[in-house]
């Protein structure tokens, strides 16, 4: 659900910005894109780790906790917020 909502956010931001002539790459546009990308990645990570979490894997709980805290705070927290190789 979070991933779909954040993809909708990204689509809306891009649709508004692409209508402008010329496209202005400023802090507002950058921050809105960054929020959308981070929310999409963290939502995707939490969705992918749910099966491992349901099976009781110990490291899955840590990954899911980091992703949920990142979503709540709006930041990744650590530089390794999306360890795709471990999913």
DSSP state of 77: S
So what's the pLDDT on residue 85? 40
Position 80 pLDDT exceeds 80: no
Render pLDDT for 3-24 as a digit per residue (tens, 0 to 9): 788 888 888 888 888 888 887 7
Name the band, by pLDDT with cuts 50, 70 and 90, for residue 77.
Answer: very low
86's tokens: 């471990």
Separation of alpha carbons 43 and 3, rounded Å: 5
Name the band, by pLDDT with cuts 50, 70 and 90, for residue 74.
Answer: low
Separation of alpha carbons 20 and 36, rounded Å: 19
Mean pLDDT (whole number) for 74-82: 50
């Amino acid at each position: 659900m979070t991933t779909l909502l954040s993809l909708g956010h990204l689509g809306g931001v891009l649709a508004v910005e692409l209508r402008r002539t010329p496209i202005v790459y400023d802090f507002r546009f950058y921050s809105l894109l960054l929020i959308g990308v981070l929310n999409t990645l963290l939502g995707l990570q939490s969705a992918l780790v749910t099966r491992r979490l349901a099976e009781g894997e110990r490291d899955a709980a840590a990954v899911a906790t980091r992703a949920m805290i990142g979503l709540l705070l709006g930041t990744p927290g650590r530089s390794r917020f999306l360890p795709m190789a471990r999913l």
